Amino acid sequence: MKKKLIIVALLAAVSLLISGCSFGDGDIRGITVYITETGEKYHRWGCQYLRQSCIPISLAEAKRLGYTACKVCKPPS
């Protein structure tokens, strides 16, 4: 589990570096969402489910890793 978390954190760091670039309207590579250490959902910043952990990641990477949108905060899909 820790190895997956480290990989996700590294991918998130790279994602943040890339997110400053413009990929055009509607391109999910430029959208940042947030995941937790143990969950299977991605979230908007400030979602109640991010209290314990909050890892930034691109929407494209979150989807690639199998995360699905939180039904509470309704992040972009």
Which carries the bigger pLDDT value, residue 43 or residue 17? 43
pLDDT at 63 exceeding the cut of 50: yes
Q: For position 42, what pLDDT does the model report? A: 97
Local structure of residue 34 (DSSP, 8 states) = E
pLDDT at 1 exceeding the cut of 70: no
> Span 43-56, mean pLDDT?
95
User: What is the overall mean pLDDT for the chain?
Assistant: 79
In Å, how far from its chain's centre is CA 38?
A: 13
Q: For position 30, what pLDDT does the model report? A: 87
- Give me the residue spans of the domains in the chain: 2-69
Q: Are 42 and 26 in contact (CB under 8 A)?
A: no
At residue 18 the predicted structure's pLDDT band, cuts being 50, 70 and 90, is very low
Q: How many CB atoms lie within 10 A of CB 32?
A: 19
